[in-house]
Amino acid sequence: MGRTYKAVQVTKPGKLDFVERPVVEPGFGQVRLRVEACGVCHTDAFTVEGGFPGLTFPRVPGHEVIGTIEAVGPGVQGWKQGQRVGIGYMGGHCGHCISCRRGDFVNCQNQPISGVHSDGGYAETMIAQASGLAAIPGDLLPTEAAPLLCAGLTTFNGLRNSKARPGDLVAIQGVGGLGHLGIQFARRMGFKVAAIARGAEKEGLARKLGAHHYIDSIAQDPVAALQALGGARLILATAANSKSMSPLLGGLAPRGQLVVAGAGGNDPIEVNPIPLLFGTRAIEGTMTGSSLDAEDTLSFSSLQQVRPIIETLPLASAAEAYGRMMRNEARFRIVLVTGQ
């Protein structure tokens, strides 16, 4: 191991620099990973463009990180050197705040966000809190596992924590980075799956991924289409476009839920209270998940053959990868490969 490592850091908003840094030893409760792969996620924009509360520069983005443990800090139990692990957006819960004491680790009040409050995975090595680690099943490639830690976990938890039950109509809005995984999870969880996207070109892929129905929101009104299918018990909204979510409420069955998994822009979701009242429908958000939720996502993906569709680029091409993702050119997730 060298005494330095290569990383891609945001030195000032909008600028990704390829730099060499001194290797850091893990502190109490931490491990150091030798990074193998890191997904490029739309949420990285909060780091690259700046503006996230508590963010300081320079900062290394990246929160879909797969690597092997190369150094274990003091006070770490249950993890060992050489083990392949992942760390996602939630960088590890503290274990002592009110939320943690209630077992609600996602809402830990002292949790660093990987790549925002601490340096993330656009790098050859990364320091991670042991409480944020997930074990990786042996049959998943690092490049396949990386997007499952954020895009995968978000849709997996959004589906399994909803009130929908096997056989219910579940609609996945958006066939992109999140949606293409959401369709696979929903199908394999036993739901009746409708994919909603703009235009006809994604229909073939959506059906191949497991959608029973495809709703082209340009050619037809998605509300009418969902109601014709009996109304959705759950609509998982993955598009980074709040305005497109507002009209979908009318497509819910009574007691249906609109679960918001994507965010983008500053537009609010506009809500007509009438369908909320008459039919007791609900809107709620879903936030990735805990480290054990991440492990559940990976285990389910291994068991049920759920895989992200990825493109890979070397770490040195991080700026290009980020640009492609932001221009919506990624099909469907770009993963940075490190150390090859």
List beta partners, residue 116: none
Among 38, 65, 100, 205, binds Zn ion (CB under 5 A): 100
Residues 142-171 that bind Zn ion (CB under 5 A): 150
Is residue 242 within 8 A of residue 262, CB to CB? The reply is no
What tokens appear for 233 in the block?
Answer: 């018990």
Among 23, 72, 94, 309, binds Zn ion (CB under 5 A): 94
Q: Measured from the CB of residue 92, what is the shortest distance to Zn ion in angstroms?
A: 9
When the beta carbons of 148 and 164 are compared against Zn ion, the nearer one is 148
When the beta carbons of 154 and 217 are compared against Zn ion, the nearer one is 154
Torsion of CA 288, 57, 7, 294, to 10 degrees: -10
65-72 and 30-40: which strand pairing? antiparallel
Among 41, 127, 206, 318, binds Zn ion (CB under 5 A): 41
Site size for Zn ion, by CB under 5 A? 9
When the beta carbons of 60 and 194 are compared against Zn ion, the nearer one is 60
Among 8, 16, 108, 153, binds Zn ion (CB under 5 A): 108
Which of the ranges 95-103, 174-182, 196-204, 332-340 carries the binding residues for Zn ion, by CB under 5 A? 95-103
Residues 6+ apart with CB under 8 A from 10: 16, 17, 47, 48, 50, 57, 58, 59, 60, 61
When the beta carbons of 150 and 252 are compared against Zn ion, the nearer one is 150
Q: Measured from the CB of residue 304, what is the shortest distance to Zn ion in angstroms?
A: 22
When the beta carbons of 71 and 150 are compared against Zn ion, the nearer one is 150
Cα dist. 54→7, 45, 115, 117 in Å?
A: 21, 15, 12, 7
Q: How far apart are CA 41 and CA 335, in angstroms?
A: 9
Verify binding: residue 65, Zn ion, rule CB under 5 A: no
Which of the ranges 87-95, 129-137, 168-176, 186-194 carries the binding residues for Zn ion, by CB under 5 A? 87-95
Q: Which residues bind Zn ion (CB under 5 A)?
A: 41, 43, 93-94, 97, 100, 108, 110, 150
